[in-house]
Amino acid sequence: MQSKQNSLRIGILGGGITGLASAFYLLRAGHQVTILEARPQLGGLATHFDFGSFHWDKFYHCILTSDAPLLELIDELGLTPELRWTETKVGFFTLGRLHSMTTSLDFLRFPALSLWEKFRLGVGILYAARIQDGLALEQEPIEPWLVRIFGEGVYKKMWEPLLKCKLGEARKQTSASFIWATIRRLYSTREKGASKKECLGYVRGGYRTVFFRLVEKIQEMGGHIMTSVPVEEMRSTRNRGVSVSCGPLKMDFDCVISTVPSSALAKLTPELSAEYRAKLDAIQYMGMVCAVMVLKRKLTPYYCTNITQDLPFTGVIEMTNLISTEETNGRHLVYLPKYTSPGDPLFNATDDDVWQKFHAALKQVVPDLADDDIEQCFIFRERLVQPIPVLNYSGIVPDMESSVEHLLVANTTQIVNSTLNNNEMVKIARKAAAMVEQIAEEEAGFWPRRAGNGQSVPTKINSGPYVLPAATTTRSSSWHKSRKA
Ligand SMILES: Cc1cc2nc3c(=O)[nH]c(=O)nc-3n(C[C@H](O)[C@H](O)[C@H](O)COP(=O)(O)OP(=O)(O)OC[C@H]3O[C@@H](n4cnc5c(N)ncnc54)[C@H](O)[C@@H]3O)c2cc1C
């Protein structure tokens, strides 16, 4: 680790990509860092899962050619040679059938829209993708904007069912900037290269490889990683630091970066001002219930199948149409995600009930799927996933500097005018690290504690260095059912 005169002791809440990337940048800048993660396994929403004969991301992830800060981090970790890029195909389940929507010819053949509607859709997408700043769109509700840009027919036949699927009732509060950001992100995958085809990437081994390398680098630079430490309370200390406690464990830091969801942060920080707390509490999240299948056969030719009919899941993501089946021991890996409100009864339904519902609907999409083709299935749930970009969202986003001195917030709610993705989180991690640097410089004369003054960063409570587990223990929210059993 680089030795540094004004090295601060930084605590980071959360061991997902934002926490680990922030730690990486701060250690590189010469600070002392301790990461506190509530769960036994690092990775947060991008963590991996042991699917039996292989490991892969618990939720599906892809990388875009336009994800510059994320690709830079991957490069800094020495993982660029492990990147793989694939031309992927897009499908639509419309009018009771699967349709390809990959090439211009597919688009012309698409049966759900008239020629005029296709023209409106094409021109509308080109127009939306060229809007540079989505800030003005934050004031427009999503529905009238889509009708204005694409026409009533395209809205009713395409956008409305897609919005119902992706946002449910939350679509009524969501601003047009959400759909603009989604179109722009997807369009950016086709911008590079002459073919204008969709090209998506992944790191060999999935995000597990990225987290392994981040952990290695963090530990090499002297960072501390503590897992199974759900922080319960944070308070300011007399010397302008932040004290963090979890049961009997108590640690003092000069500065803390919280990457945990805003509602969780509000609960564990009693000293927040009423105004700042109100901002944290104002953010609403969509949750995720996702069925994951390990199959003996390929299901569709598409990486992503969009659904414009009323089905219990939001889409079909066939991961092995992006990643090689060498990654999955020859099996096919398919996710059936459902974005929904955290109060959806699906969160309390039994895994069997969720599966029955999803399985019956999947039979409509792929009627020839035999029970014997399904080797295993799993249900994963997370209640706080996607902050809802409501009207004037940037006005309600809490500042990165909270009302508690030296407590910074760097979580997914800080994404403005973009979609939830790791590229945005790497940008936010960089911003948080830069803010710590600024604090360290501005207040250099103040800090009473410095590296080597006898008050070192607390040692790990876990024995030995943190090791990413080879196999995950099944958490109560996940369920593993062997179809053979
Ligand atoms: C279904 C799905 C698909 C996705 N697809 C993509 C994709 O294709 N491409 C892409 O780039 N991104 C994708 N994402 C988004 C990506 O997963 C997120 O951007 C990223 O994981 C967010 O990371 P984070 O570190 O900010 O938050 P999290 O991953 O939520 O990490 C926060 C951490 O804080 C911990 N924590 C909570 N409370 C406490 C506490 N009290 N004390 C200590 N620790 C605590 C949590 O356990 C968690 O590990 C997807 C997400 C989902 C759910």
Instruction: List the single range of 190-204, 286-300, 354-368 with lowest mean pLDDT.
Output: 190-204
Task: Specify the DSSP element, H or E, that contains 295.
Answer: strand 285-295
pLDDT value of residue 177: 93
pLDDT of residue 443: 81
Atom of ligand 1 nearest to the CA of 18: 25
Looking at the fold, whether 346 and 403 belong to one and the same domain comes out as no
Q: Could you tell me if the CB of 264 is within 6 A of ligand 1? A: yes
Q: What percent of the chain has pLDDT over 70?
A: 89
The per-residue pLDDT for 198 is 81
Kindly report which listed range (31-40, 168-177, 259-268, 460-469) carries the lowest average pLDDT score. Answer: 460-469
Closest CA to 321 of 79, 102, 58, 11: 102
| Centroid of ligand 1 to alpha carbon of 264 (angstroms) | 14
Ligand 1 atom nearest to 61, measured from its CA: 8
The CA 49 to ligand 1 mean position distance, Å, reads: 14
**pLDDT, tens digit, for every residue of 382-398?**
999 999 999 999 999 99
Q: Which of 158 and 80 is assigned the larger pLDDT?
A: 80
303 lines ligand 1 (CB under 6 A): no
Q: For 85-96, write each residue's pLDDT tens digit.
A: 999 999 999 999
Q: What mean pLDDT do residues 439-452 have?
A: 68
Q: Answer yes or no: is the C-beta of 151 below 6 A from any ligand 1 atom.
A: no
**262: Cβ below 6 Å to ligand 1?**
no
Q: What is the CATH number of the domain that holds 271?
A: 3.50.50.60
State mean pLDDT over 10-27. 98
Which whole number is the average pLDDT over 224-237?
Answer: 97
Least confident interval from 308-312, 321-325, 404-408, 464-468? 464-468
| pLDDT reading at 37 higher than 80 | yes
Average pLDDT over residues 112-122: 93
The verdict on the CB of residue 37 being under 6 Å from ligand 1 is: yes
Arithmetic mean of pLDDT over the chain: 89
Shared-domain flag, residues 293 and 308: yes
Please name the residue whose Cα sits nearest to atom 7 of ligand 1: 61
For position 196, what pLDDT does the model report? 66
Please tell me if the CB atom of residue 425 comes closer than 6 angstroms to any atom of ligand 1: yes
The reported pTM is 0.91
Task: Give per-residue pLDDT as tens, 271-315.
Answer: 999 999 999 999 999 999 999 999 999 999 999 999 998 899 999
Assess whether 190 and 251 both reside in one domain. Answer: no
Rounded to 10 degrees, the C-alpha dihedral 452/458/460/461 comes to 150
| C-alpha torsion angle, residues 61, 64, 70, 75 (rounded to 10) | 110
On whether residue 174 sits in a domain, the answer given is: yes
Is it the case that residue 453 has pLDDT exceeding 60?
no
Nearest atom in ligand 1 to the alpha carbon of residue 19 is 25
* 18 Cβ below 6 A of ligand 1: yes
Question: 132 and 16 in one domain?
Answer: no
289 and 383 assigned to the same domain = yes
138 lines ligand 1 (CB under 6 A): no
- What mean pLDDT do residues 389-408 have? 95
**Length of the chain in terms of residues written:** 485
Question: Quick one: pLDDT at residue 474?
Answer: 29
* Nearest alpha carbon to residue 106 among 305, 298, 297, 299: 305
Q: Does 98 fall in a domain? A: no
pLDDT band at 188 (very low <50, low <70, confident <90, very high): confident
Q: Is the CB of 19 under 6 A from ligand 1?
A: yes
Range of the domain at 428: 9-84+205-283+389-442
Q: Is the CB of 292 under 6 A from ligand 1?
A: no
What's the CA dihedral at 142, 144, 149, 155 to 10 degrees? 80
* pLDDT for the residue 104: 87
Task: Name the nearest CA neighbour of 253 among 10, 38, 43, 437.
Answer: 10
User: Which of 178, 94, 112, 117 lies closest to 143 in space, CA to CA?
Assistant: 178
Q: Whose CA is nearest to atom 5 of ligand 1?
A: 61
Bridge partners of 100, per DSSP, are 91
Q: Is the predicted pLDDT of residue 456 greater than 70, yes or no? A: no
Closest residue by Cα to atom 6, ligand 1, is: 61
Kindly give the distance from the C-alpha atom of residue 423 to the centroid of ligand 1, in angstroms, as a whole number.
12
Q: Is the pLDDT of residue 239 over 90?
A: no
Q: Is the pLDDT of residue 222 over 50?
A: yes
Counting from 1 in the atom list of ligand 1, the atom nearest the Cα of 412 is 26
| 401 shares its domain with 333 | no
What is the model's pLDDT at position 444? Answer: 77
CB 207 within 8 A of CB 43: yes
Distance CA 261, CA 172 (A): 23
271 and 395 assigned to the same domain: yes
Ligand 1: nearest atom to the Cα of 67: 11
Residue 49 to residue 354: CA distance in whole angstroms: 19
Single out the residue in 197, 231, 246 at which a domain terminates. Answer: 197
Residue 464 lies in a domain: no
Whether 289 is in the pocket of ligand 1, judged by its Cβ within 6 Å, is: no
Higher pLDDT, 410 or 465: 410
Residue 238 in any domain: the answer is yes
DSSP H helices, 34-101, are 68-76
- Is residue 345 assigned to a domain? yes
Shared domain for 381 and 294, answered yes or no, is yes
- Cβ atoms of 289 and 427 within 8 Å: the answer is no
* pLDDT of 372 higher than 70: yes
pLDDT of residue 467 exceeding 70, the answer is no
The answer to whether residues 118 and 186 belong to one domain is yes
What average pLDDT does range 189-193 have in this prediction?
62
pLDDT for the residue numbered 442: 85
Specify whether 358 is located in the same domain as 340. Answer: yes
> Whose CA is closest to atom 8 on ligand 1?
61
- In the chain, what is the straight-line distance between the N-terminal and C-terminal CA atoms, in Å? 51
Ligand 1 pocket, residue 46 CB under 6 Å: yes
Sign of CA dihedral 134, 139, 143, 147: negative
Q: Which of 197, 218, 245 is the last residue of a domain?
A: 197
CA dist 214 and 74 (Å) reads 9
Residue 251: pLDDT band (50, 70, 90) is very high
Our mutation pick for probing the ligand 1 site, out of 48, 260, 267, counting the most ligand atoms within 8 A of Cβ, is 260
| H-helix segments, 174-261 | 176-191, 207-220
Let me know if residue 456 belongs to a domain: no
Q: Is the pLDDT of residue 134 over 90?
A: no
* Amino acid 469: pLDDT: 52
Task: Give, for ligand 1, the residue of 256, 259, 290 to mutate: max count of ligand atoms closer than 8 Å to Cβ.
Answer: 259
Cα separation, 146 vs 159, whole angstroms: 8
**What is the identity of the amino acid at 448?**
P
d(CA 457, CA 438): 21
Dist. CA 209 → ligand 1 center (Å):
16
List the CATH number of the domain containing 346. 3.90.660.10
Q: What is the pLDDT of residue 191?
A: 56
Residue 134 lies in a domain: yes
Closest CA to 286 of 336, 341, 345, 348: 341
Written as six digits, the tokens of 50 are: 């042991």
State the angle between helix axes of 207-220 and 17-28 in degrees (0 to 180), rounded to the nearest 10: 30
Give whole-number Cα distances, 55 to 15, 77, 208, 296, in Å. Answer: 19, 21, 8, 16
Ligand 1 centroid, distance to 369 Cα (angstroms): 32
> Reduced to 3 states, what is the DSSP secondary structure of residue 383?
strand
Can you tell me the distance from the alpha carbon of 212 to that of 349, in angstroms, rounded to the nearest whole number? 34
- If asked whether residues 414 and 363 sit together in one domain, one would say no
**Closest C-alpha to ligand 1, atom 14:** 421
| Residue among 182, 381, 422, 477 to mutate when testing ligand 1 (max atoms within 8 A of CB) | 422
Total tally of structural domains belonging to the chain = 3
* DSSP reduced 3-state for 280: helix
Give the angle 39-57-217 at the CA atoms, nearest 5°: 65
Give the atom of ligand 1 at the shortest distance from the alpha carbon of 268: 41
Give the distance (Å) from ligand 1 centre to CA of residue 440. Answer: 28
* Residue 441: per-residue pLDDT: 87
- Domain end point (choices 197, 216, 241): 197
In a domain, 90, yes or no: no
DSSP element (H, E) containing 424 = helix 422-442
Same domain, yes or no: 268 and 289: no
What is the reported pLDDT for 409?
Answer: 98
Hey, which of 61, 188, 245 would you mutate to test ligand 1's pocket, going by the most ligand atoms within 8 Å of its Cβ?
A: 61
pLDDT of 373 higher than 90: yes
Q: Is 16 in the pocket of ligand 1 (CB under 6 A)?
A: yes
What is residue 192's predicted lDDT score, i.e. its pLDDT? 55
Q: State the CB neighbour count (10 A cutoff) for residue 270.
A: 11
CA distance 199 to 82: 16
Q: Report d(CA 277, CA 254) in Å as an integer.
A: 22
pLDDT (0 to 100) of residue 484: 34
Write out pLDDT tens, residues 422-438.
999 999 999 999 999 99
Residue nearest to atom 9 of ligand 1 (CA): 61
Query: Among residues of the chain, what percentage have pLDDT more than 90?
Result: 78
